[in-house]
Structure 1
Amino acid sequence: MSLILGLYAAGAWAFHDLFVRQMTQKLAIVPMLFTVLLLGTVLLAPVAALGTGWAAMTLPAYGIAVGAGAAFAVASLCLYLAFSIGPVKLVAPIIGAYPVLSVGWAAVNGTAISGLQWGAVLGIVGGVALVATLSDASGGSDRKIRAIVFSILTGACFAATFATSQAAVRLGADLPVIFVARVTATVLIGVMLIVGRRPWTMSARIWGTLAVLGFLDASALALVTMAGSLPNPEFAAVASSLFGMLTVILARIFLNEPMTRPQWIAVVVVFGGIGLLGS
């Protein structure tokens, strides 16, 4: 079941990121992100209010859920920045490599890692290096470096988000944790909007699209979080990371982003390694 939840999340985030790549080229990033988070929170609110589990929430669960929301806010901001700079074929595979961090964290905590899993990690790292090397720098090497840095930060913060939100679920209940984390992320980006004195002006014509983005994002994160109460919750996080491969394919189809054979090989190596980690 965890695997199924993760696969849905991968599909939802793939379409979400495709739209993000398009819209960050013409909209201010922080106001756009705040609107998406706010609309997703509004859509989630009645479900969370009518759901059960609030009585099961403990103080540690609330605290960890707030931490998950903070990590998600940073992850979302870095993701929007990365897609506003770099092409999907560069950004998506680097972000999608975050399961490597999960394996490293497990190893630090004494979990036995098989030779096959270490081989998968090496394949992912090598594939990511190929993705970065083969990506053209037509926008300038500085832009490419910034896109890579934001992509790495996004992946790291996504890994932290999944780890903390699933830990919070084990100490409390899924819907309250999902809602608290979502509200936290929305408030933090809202504070950034206010402190930066950025005008929150979104054309009425795009509110429908932003609402769809909010739904895709909120539902994907919710399902990965809910896996925290199921057996093998890490399968949901690993499966959801396949969104990067799907995003690359969608960008090739809908945005007509060119891909050479070596670039396809690099992308396949990355996500082949991710698939091995989840096996």
Structure 2
Amino acid sequence: MLALSFGLTAALVWAGHDLLARKLTQGAMLLPIMLVVFGAGSLALAPVALALGDWTAMTNGAISVALAYGLAYALAGGALYRAFSLAPVRLVSPVIGAFPMLSLVIAAAQGQPVTAGDWISVVAIVLGIAIVATASREDGPEGYAAPAAVAMGWAGLSAAGFAMSFALGQEAARQGAELPVMLIGRVAALAAILGIALLRRARLAPAPGQAWLLVLMGAFDALALGLVTAAGQLPRAEYASVAASLFGVLTVVLAAWILRERVRPLQWLGVLTVFSGIGGLGLQSLAQGG
């Protein structure tokens, strides 16, 4: 049950992050935004990881997996920001949150037990996300900087990146230790983004007035990712990844409330369906003593 709690908390934190991402990425250069967000997250994590992390547990294999984890997360984050810059939250967030099926497939490939109840609950989550996404196809062109299919393609790439990064992060934590893995991963992601920015000779400074909000986004991102990564040492670690997928629907709710984005009744049905799937996972976790 603790892994599920970690995932749900991460979902709430990521929803706040994504709401800010939608607000700040519209019409903005993405590389400066990513540099500040990833850099702030690294700086927030570094003192804790260096002081409390079990660095002696980090084998060469754990370090290699942690580096791959960071690169996968850079891909997921970059695709996420690109998707939010192109389309409203109600379209791209549910697609980005559709990675739990991939997470359980990866868990099954790793030899971890996946029950029929797990699949039923995850199907409910994915179905709810699909309802929200399908209902969004009736939207008008306002609020879209590109065709909806393009935005959904970026969102799908982000979902695949998240599924892979969560799996790699949890595997690295099993082989080594959580805090060192998190710091190595974030530094690798930051280095990848900085390398791209330098190759493209992109501007590195964010827009005036955005810096403090981007730092807050970085802190949110580091906390949420840390919760999912730390779950790698807990029973049923895949529950954290699945529950974290709730951030997509929570972002839709927050966007409707704060950004005044319109959500149709059918989309709210999708939200309730996702919550039902998360509740099913919680009941199974309790029954199994997780």
TM-score, structure 2 normalization: 0.89
Alignment partners' CA distance in 2, 1:15 and 1:141: 22
CA deviations over 1:183-218 (Å, ceiling 9, x no partner): 000000111111111111224522111111110001
Indicate the larger mover: 235-244 or 131-140: 131-140
Q: Which residue of 2 aligns with 1:160?
A: 164
Counterpart residue type for residue 169 of structure 1? A
CA deviations over 1:130-177 (Å, ceiling 9, x no partner): 333321342379620011111111111111111111111111111110
* TM-fit CA distance, 1:109: 5.1
Q: Could you tell me which of 189, 201, 204 is aligned with 2:205? A: 201
Q: Which residue of 1 aligns with 2:288?
A: none
Matched-pair contact (CA < 8 Å) for 1:245–1:271: no
2:140 pairs with 1:138: yes
Counterpart residue type for residue 162 of structure 2? F
* TM-fit CA distance, 1:110: 5.5
Aligned residue for 2:210, secondary structure, equals helix
Q: Number of matched residues?
A: 279
2:50 pairs with 1:34: no
Q: 1:275 to 1:188 in 2, by over 3 A?
A: farther
Q: 1:115 to 1:47 in 2, by over 3 A?
A: closer
Q: Which residue of 1 aligns with 2:287?
A: none
Aligned residue for 1:205, secondary structure, equals coil
Alignment partners' CA distance in 2, 1:118 and 1:8: 22
Matched-pair contact (CA < 8 Å) for 2:86–2:145: no
2:217 pairs with 1:216: no
* TM-fit CA distance, 1:277: 4.5
2:44 pairs with 1:43: yes
Alignment partners' CA distance in 2, 1:129 and 1:2: 25
| Structure 1 unaligned residues grouped into runs of 5+ | none
* TM-fit CA distance, 1:6: 1.6
* TM-fit CA distance, 1:26: 3.9
CA deviations over 1:98-130 (Å, ceiling 9, x no partner): 111122234445555444333344444444443
Alignment partners' CA distance in 2, 1:268 and 1:149: 25
Q: 1:206 to 1:72 in 2, by over 3 A?
A: same
2:106 pairs with 1:95: no
| Structure 2 unaligned residues grouped into runs of 5+ | 285-290
Indicate the larger mover: 221-230 or 75-84: 221-230
Q: 1:106 to 1:221 in 2, by over 3 A?
A: closer
2:71 pairs with 1:70: yes
Alignment partners' CA distance in 1, 2:145 and 2:124: 25
Counterpart residue type for residue 120 of structure 2? G
Counterpart residue type for residue 140 of structure 2? S
Indicate the larger mover: 176-185 or 98-107: 98-107
Aligned residue for 1:231, secondary structure, equals coil
Alignment partners' CA distance in 1, 2:34 and 2:53: 29
TM-score, structure 1 normalization: 0.92
